[in-house]
Structure 1
Amino acid sequence: MVQTRVRESVETRGRGDDAVTFDDVLAELEDRRTEFDEQRYVPKDFVERLKQVGIYRASTPAKFGGRPLPPAEFLDRIERISAVDGSTGWVASFGSALIYLAALPVETQAELYRNGPDVTFAAGLFPIQPAEATDSGFRVDGRWKFASGCMGADILGVGIPGDSSTGGKPRTALLSPDQVEIVQEWDVVGMRGTGSFDLVVRDTEVPREWTFIRGGEATVDEPLYRYPVIAYAAQVLAVVGSGVARAALDHAEQVGGGYAGVTGAPKLADRPHYRTRVASAEAELRSARAWFYDLSHEVWETVVAGDPATDEQNAHLRLASAHLAKTASDVVGDLVEISGTAPINRSHPLQRLLGDALVPKQHAFLGPAMYDSAGAVLMGLDPTTPGFQ
């Protein structure tokens, strides 16, 4: 049974450990990020370290032992991780994905968290694969892409079609890792260490109660599960880009005072255009971040007060997320442009950061179409992209 397999897969989950500090984990990450990049995934032992500092209980319902964080607090942690390593920040960001699982039946959630609140969930949702309905659930068979963090996951999800009962939204079917083949097909220039591999499932029946509607209404009544689900999913990815851009700016400011070109030209910090562009980049990133976090606090206050987030608030969250992702990518690109020939070396820090910063703004949740949908909603029209609200 799926329930038994899921229970067994989470029995060895990490527990919160107050002896391990967040700074300890960041220091270890700095030492190991090259390892993760070379093997193309964040290993399970480091995922356990993230569990120890609460990343994977930050979206678990309090009724099941979680310590759900206000979104802005969780986003700040992901941004700090991403400033050390974007790939690990991306994987850690899916600690927020447990808000999706709040749409499961309460009894299923109780089984899922039976052995503790620290659950790592990864999913390959697309392309949506057909799933034959059975008397008790769905028969799942197919291959899905981009399952970021799947190598360290306790439970995996795959995308199957919705039906008349889901309002057109797709379902996600949950499986234990031993029911899924992970195909390590992931050769990219950005976020290389995310382990965004393919998932393959062959002719496996998943009970209906172990499926949920992505973005569906939560069955748990706690403030975090009244926060806009898809908007939060966009925020956690956008803030990864912000952390990467912060690392690029820190690098540019540190080396600016000490680097001189091979031609004998003035060192970078003595060049007016370099100083000006770095200062402009600081202003752009900090401005985008301030709006992004201010909105998160505003919407959180709304849902804590017991009111639903408005369509306009959701549109602003989506817009601010897309804007932050684009700004972060532009900032890193600008810093590469003004840094002379040094960044053409494959080992140069800005090379890695340039690739990493590109990924969030290319994501479907954060691309140019979000501006169109946000504009439509703010003008009283329906959003122009599916799943916007």
Structure 2
Amino acid sequence: MTTDSVMQRVAAEPAGPARAAAFEHALDVLRSRRDEFNEQRFVPSEFIGLLKRAGMYRASTPAMFGGEPMDPSSFMRMVERVSAIDPATGWVSSFGSSLVYFAALPLETQQRIYAAGPDVAYAGGLFPMQKAERVSGGYICSGTWQFASGCRGADLLGIGLMGGPESNGMPLTALVSPEEVDIVENWDVAGMKATGSHAIRADRVFVPEDMTFTRGGTPQIDEPLTRYPVLAYAAQVLAVVTLGAARGALDHVAEVGASKTSITGGAAKGNRPAYKAGLARAEAELRSARAFFYDITDEVWAKATLGEPILDEERALLRLGATHAAHVGRTVVLNAFDLAGTGAIYENHPLQRYLRDALVPAQHAMLQTGTYEAAGAVLLGMDAGIPSFP
């Protein structure tokens, strides 16, 4: 592909009050349209445009190409706020961080990608890795790739290729334009419906070699965000979605519990000892997991900013904080569901959104239960037993 096919992009508002107002506007629109997004099973490109105006899609573009890279905590707090309204949209917004992968591309390629502006929405359907035909100057790619979250609103798409001698056996990501591939609408799920994580299908698409990269490969740009552990960040931006979902669920049960009477006309649910204690414990668990999550993020970011070496133990703590956030957040949402009682079983109940979506992040390969063991192994100086960990 060539990047000439990428359309003129929506640009972020100027940093400061205008951009902050754009973010609040996007949140207001999301509150009114989240049911629509879930029913149609994707976040539309015009809403991605609102998030671009809020700066979320230049947050990982290198400064040398006009980006305004955000520190991970600041970016993830934005994702968390989106997720507290609709976790599935939060999941899509989290990929505003994914341009860090592009730092492994040749500088000339990056310059072409950002020529139309730094606000780029990227989505990748990387698995299963497909064997491409090596030809002069690049690859002929065919196959179907699953789980391309946000593909319906992306400017660029990634597909996964098996690695060869040219990549030392490491898998490659090949960049294609949406016009070159088909989106196979197979996203039929109970949770995270609005992520639109459909499959991508290509039929003998040529991809120049300079439009391929190794995910997590050596960056060609030295900026603080390119020094931050890229694979750990990929896990973190997904985990923070669960923290947002948990926040939304707890806010709901707190609001209901503060009501004067229950739906039956009896004592308000909040007056019940189990409700008060359950809400308090869930609040403490959420805040504790969140504190660990952001604390280790800021510790490692400080080292990245100073250009100091980041140890494997610190990378493992980033991964541990992400896994713990996803699992604790899921438990908190289940606790909120329990407090809500029988009414929460109805599909139109507000907690159903958080319940269905919050179950998903901890199922992701980067956040599954086994990553607890892998983090513990690294902290003990042992082999993690999981590829590309930490």
| Same fold, TM-score > 0.5, yes or no | yes
2:150 matches 1:149: yes
Amino acid at match of 2:269: L
Moved over 4 A (4+): none
| 1:386 Cα deviation from its structure 2 partner | 0.7
| 1:323 Cα deviation from its structure 2 partner | 0.3
The separation in 1 between residues aligned to 2:338 and 2:88, in whole angstroms, is 23
CA contact (8 A) 1:234 1:318 kept: yes
Residues 192-216 of structure 1, C-alpha deviations (whole Å, 9 max, x = no match): 1011011000011111110000111
2:46 matches 1:39: no
Q: Secondary structure at the match of 1:367?
A: coil
Q: Secondary structure at the match of 2:142?
A: strand
What does residue 131 of structure 1 align with?
132
What does residue 72 of structure 1 align with?
73
Residues 236-281 of structure 1, C-alpha deviations (whole Å, 9 max, x = no match): 000011001000000000001325254x764211111111111000
The separation in 1 between residues aligned to 2:314 and 2:4, in whole angstroms, is 38
Amino acid at match of 2:275: Y
Amino acid at match of 1:160: L
| 1:165 Cα deviation from its structure 2 partner | 4.2
2:257 matches 1:260: no
The separation in 2 between residues aligned to 1:365 and 1:42, in whole angstroms, is 23
| 1:382 Cα deviation from its structure 2 partner | 1.7
Amino acid at match of 2:181: V
What does residue 285 of structure 1 align with?
286
How many residues align? The count is 384
Provide the alpha-carbon RMSD of the alignment.
1.2
Residues 153-191 of structure 1, C-alpha deviations (whole Å, 9 max, x = no match): 001000011124434431001001110100111111111
2:171 matches 1:174: no
The separation in 1 between residues aligned to 2:191 and 2:72, in whole angstroms, is 25
What does residue 8 of structure 1 align with?
5
What does residue 272 of structure 2 align with?
271
CA contact (8 A) 2:125 2:146 kept: yes
CA contact (8 A) 2:253 2:339 kept: no
Q: Secondary structure at the match of 2:200?
A: strand
Identity over aligned pairs, percent = 51
Residues 15-47 of structure 1, C-alpha deviations (whole Å, 9 max, x = no match): 112445211111111111111111111101111
The separation in 2 between residues aligned to 1:245 and 1:344, in whole angstroms, is 17
The separation in 1 between residues aligned to 2:102 and 2:384, in whole angstroms, is 25
CA contact (8 A) 1:103 1:212 kept: yes
CA contact (8 A) 1:173 1:211 kept: yes
What does residue 352 of structure 1 align with?
353
The separation in 1 between residues aligned to 2:28 and 2:328, in whole angstroms, is 27
Q: Secondary structure at the match of 1:198?
A: strand
Amino acid at match of 2:170: K
| 1:304 Cα deviation from its structure 2 partner | 0.9
The separation in 1 between residues aligned to 2:23 and 2:269, in whole angstroms, is 34
Superposed counterparts of 1:229-248, under 5 Å: 229-248=230-249
The separation in 2 between residues aligned to 1:292 and 1:276, in whole angstroms, is 24
What does residue 195 of structure 1 align with?
196
Q: TM-score, normalised by structure 1?
A: 0.96
Q: TM-score, normalised by structure 2?
A: 0.96
Amino acid at match of 1:316: L
| 1:139 Cα deviation from its structure 2 partner | 1.2
What does residue 209 of structure 2 align with?
208
The separation in 2 between residues aligned to 1:226 and 1:205, in whole angstroms, is 31
Superposed counterparts of 1:326-365, under 5 Å: 326-365=327-366
What does residue 83 of structure 2 align with?
82
The separation in 1 between residues aligned to 2:114 and 2:122, in whole angstroms, is 12
Give 5+ residue unaligned stretches, structure 2: none
The separation in 2 between residues aligned to 1:169 and 1:242, in whole angstroms, is 32
What does residue 55 of structure 2 align with?
54
Amino acid at match of 1:30: R
Give 5+ residue unaligned stretches, structure 1: none
| 1:352 Cα deviation from its structure 2 partner | 1.4
CA contact (8 A) 1:7 1:114 kept: no
| 1:338 Cα deviation from its structure 2 partner | 2.5
